[in-house]
Amino acid sequence: MELGMIGLGKMGNFMAQRLIGAGHRVVGFDPSADARKKLEDKGGETVDALESLPAKLQAPRALWMMVPAGRIVDQTIDALLPKLQAGDVIIDGGNSNYKDSVRRAQSAAEKNLHYVDCGTSGGVWGLQEGYSMMIGGDKDVIDRLAPLFEALAPGKDQGWGRVGPSGSGHFTKMVHNGIEYGMMQAYAEGLSILKHKQEFGLDLEQITQIWRYGSVVRSWLLDLTADALKKNPNLDGIAPYVVDSGEGRWTVAEAIDLDVPAPIITAALIERLRSRDSDCFSDKLLSAMRNEFGGHEMKHEGLTPPPTAK
């Protein structure tokens, strides 16, 4: 099959390369000439203008977007629409909000186009290991595109599938990322407890390596954690600042809307937000409150902290 790949960052480029390796024809576009060259060096074709991409593909066309969620997705679609024709398929493989995907699918259907939302997981390891894909959209269209999904997945019948109608792919990926937040937070807190037990002199990299085999907490995420600790045991040079790309927030908001308790995912999200506050007013106020009602000593900036209360 052939595919137009829009967005040739690390993930989009690696996905295109995996498809080329499986014998598919890929024509890519990215505003970066360096990104286009990387794909060309791996056997892909490129165009230097988004509007030129559809003409390089045979109808019915399949165009896969790997661009940041939000306005840029709509701008990309708007630029493509004049060059598309009935039966063409637009696939959004990024982390769009599922509500946006539902809206875009409805708009595409009015123009006799197909819109597929594909929640994609695998990151920079996907080229080697394959991608997990949670796909929403019309079953007949997804069946027609199956050879592409099979080539991208870890196995022909593994790691991908249609999960439901338009929007369901990104909804499922949203919750997937919420779960990821909770798992990451649990590993981080547990390993922090181990590190603070200083009298035992625990080797965190050794412990994570032990856990990787036979333990009930083994996972690919733990494998990556062990690799990170092997490279940098004390995490030197890394700021305690954790970003979020939005899916955790959306998951928590959806849980509230559905009256589903999700305390772990919510706490993990709050911890990420907390990591960014280098001058935390609420913590200062807590210290001031303790001083007001109990005369408890306060730590002042630049001074040695008071002894831990017993």
List the catalytic residue out of 180, 199, 231, 310.
180
DSSP state of 82: G
Buried-state track 139-152, b at ≥16 Cβ within 10 A, e below 16? eebbeebeebbbbb
Instruction: Tell me the residue ranges of DSSP E strands in the chain.
Output: 2-6, 25-29, 45-47, 62-65, 89-92, 114-121, 132-136, 160-164
* Beta pairing, strands 62-65 & 160-164: unpaired
List the catalytic residue out of 38, 173, 205, 247.
173
> What letter represents residue 26's amino acid?
V
For the CA atoms of 256, 257, 258, 259, the dihedral, rounded to the nearest 10 degrees, stands at: 40
Q: Is the omega angle on the peptide bond into residue 60 within 30 degrees of 0, that is, cis?
A: yes
Active-site annotation holds for 180: yes
109, 127, 12, 5: which is closest to 62 by C-alpha? 5
Residue 232's CB is within 10 A of a number of other CB atoms, namely 12
Q: Are 204 and 195 in contact (CB under 8 A)?
A: yes
Instruction: Tell me the residue ranges of DSSP E strands in 105-151.
Output: 114-121, 132-136
Active-site annotation holds for 42: no
Query: Would you please indicate which residues are annotated as catalytic (active-site) residues?
Result: 173, 180
